[in-house]
Amino acid sequence: MKKVLIPTKLNGVARDMLTAHGGYEVVQDDSTDFGTLAEQNPDSYAVIVRSEKVTPEIMDALPSLKVVVRAGAGYNTIDTVYARSKGIDVMNTPGANANAVAEEVVALMLADARHVVAADPSTRAGKWEKKKFMGREVTAKTVGLVGFGAIGQLVAKRLSGFDVKVLAYDPFLSAERAEELGVQPATVEKVFSECDYVSLHMPENDDTRGIVNKSLLSLMKDGATLVNCARAGIVNEEDLRAVKAEKGLRFLNDVYAKDAEGDKSVADIADVMLPHLGASTQEANYNAARRAAEQIIAFDDKGIANYVVNRDIPEGLDRNYCELAYTLARLCRSIAGAHKKTKLIETSFYGNLKPYGDWLLVQIVAALSDDFDHTQGAVAALDYLKEMGVEYINRETDTSKGYANSITVDVTSSVDAETLSRVSVRGTVAEGHQMISRINDFDKLYFEPVGVATLFVYKDRPGVIGAIGNALAEAGINIDDMRNPHDPSGVNSLALMQIDKPIDCALVAKIAKQIEAQHSSCIVF
């Protein structure tokens, strides 16, 4: 019988389900210190936690530990890297708390609009400050959702009764899916510039950290409201502090760098702040507990590991190909335009990569959408694509093409309501280095995707490369590597240049205009 340790105040449904299964002994104790509890139960096979920290010391005290389940979505309190080194699988239960967080967003909006937090103690003190607490209505306002996954969609649904106009930013959200859900797809700039309320719903990672900065905040209407029940790190606090004072913004917050007692860095700028209560409802606690128990049972009985967030790549797959899949999709996104709506993803996995399509798809989806966490599994990736209304096709490969271990990624995006654009790239790994072998019709590139690059497509004629080089030189930018092939028709040429420093988008646009480019991009690999 396997012992499951639950050192937290978790709904009893997890304990009951595991006990009823017959294969588990459950020890649940939220009054004893976690470290002490671990020392008392060294034979524990699994641990279910909420916000408790699972440190290397805790894992070392549990030599039989094989599974840690975070009953919730975020798992930043678990040392997943150390767990992997110990052969411990870490799972989460994404979606279990989605409705609770969505309702909290609405609660914050209403509480702030009607001064509920400040008016209560005032009235209890015998005051009657009706003029001071003149409020405003949420009804008929424009609400922007940055990130439109499960939580964002539920926020839109919960707000529908207020007759609000909802703008949603998500690079995967199709126009058809948006119409079905009653929202308008929009760029992130449009969301910040046109909305009375902007609510954030994206994970924190290298691509999203500090994404809500001065450039976006400065677009907001005077007196508009920013709501963050996602992750603290996605907001640049110093930029918010400066712009908030200038534009009279409201800031409603439930997330912090550390979930612990002590001073909070946003205390001076948060108009309403809560102690990370997003998932703190009885219903969410029940859902997360049930899911945690179900996942442990499915993991043991059927080997289902869909929600393992720290599982290493499978045996036989070179890690370089995971990175290659991410790079290829990121390249497609850069060429297509970051704000274009993805309609269709097509992949081809050649040679020995074919059995690993599911693993590689996760990297592709993570590269195309800032809202999808790359630590999730293939099932979550497919569910996310379905949720966003994006079609996915994994094509049968033709071995006669001789592409060996190569990956092709095609991304079709909507330019406008009637026009679609398609970007197709192929790459491989040679001597441990990623290589881009084809971009659209430009083949045999063998370009290593590192650093910063510029890409121009133009009608072939003498002098164009010289003009590009001169413009870069005038800006103090050196060309480190270059590919300049023709397309099969011989009419168009591609100038793909690796440069030694970041380039301003305005300069790229200036060069594109000078050479009459059909397409131009600045790409950061």
Q: What is the pLDDT of residues 111-141, one digit of tens each?
A: 999 999 999 999 999 999 999 999 999 999 9
Q: Which of 87, 76, 174 is nearest to 375 (CA)?
A: 76
Positive or negative, the CA dihedral 31, 231, 228, 160 is: negative
Each residue of 448-457: b (16+ CB within 10 Å) or e? Answer: bbeebbbbbb
Q: Residue 227, SS3?
A: strand
Q: Which of 80-94, 365-379, 449-463 has the lowest mean pLDDT?
A: 365-379
Residue 515 has pLDDT above 80, yes or no: yes
Cα(106)–Cα(114) distance, integer angstroms = 12
Confidence of residue 183 (pLDDT cuts 50, 70, 90): very high
Confidence of residue 434 (pLDDT cuts 50, 70, 90): very high
Q: Which of 213-222, 304-313, 420-429 has the lowest mean pLDDT?
A: 304-313
Cα(230)–Cα(254) distance, integer angstroms = 8
pLDDT at 371: 79
Q: Which of 121-130, 165-174, 488-497 has the lowest mean pLDDT?
A: 165-174
pLDDT at 483: 96
- Are 252 and 143 in contact by the 8 Å Cβ rule? The answer is no
Confidence of residue 66 (pLDDT cuts 50, 70, 90): very high
Greater pLDDT, 151 or 398: 151
How many CB atoms are located within 10 Å of the residue 395 CB? 11
Cα(493)–Cα(467) distance, integer angstroms = 14
Confidence of residue 242 (pLDDT cuts 50, 70, 90): very high
Average pLDDT over residues 457-479: 95
pLDDT at 75: 85
* Mean pLDDT, the chain, integer: 92
Q: Which of 182-186, 287-291, 375-379, 487-491 has the lowest mean pLDDT?
A: 375-379
Residue 374 has pLDDT above 80, yes or no: no
The bridge status of strand 197-200 relative to strand 184-185 is: unpaired
Residue 375 has pLDDT above 70, yes or no: no
Over residues 408-417, the pLDDT tens digits come to 999 998 866 6
Residue 418 has pLDDT above 80, yes or no: no
- Are 153 and 101 in contact by the 8 Å Cβ rule? The answer is no
Q: Which domains does the chain have, with CATH numbers?
A: 2-96+283-302 (3.40.50.720), 98-273 (3.40.50.720), 314-422 (3.30.1330.90), 450-525 (3.30.70.260)
pLDDT at 410: 97
Q: In Å, what is the CA distance from 240 to each residue of 95, 211, 267, 344?
A: 29, 11, 12, 36
pTM of the model: 0.76
Cα(105)–Cα(252) distance, integer angstroms = 9
- Are 74 and 258 in contact by the 8 Å Cβ rule? The answer is no
Residue 315 has pLDDT above 80, yes or no: no
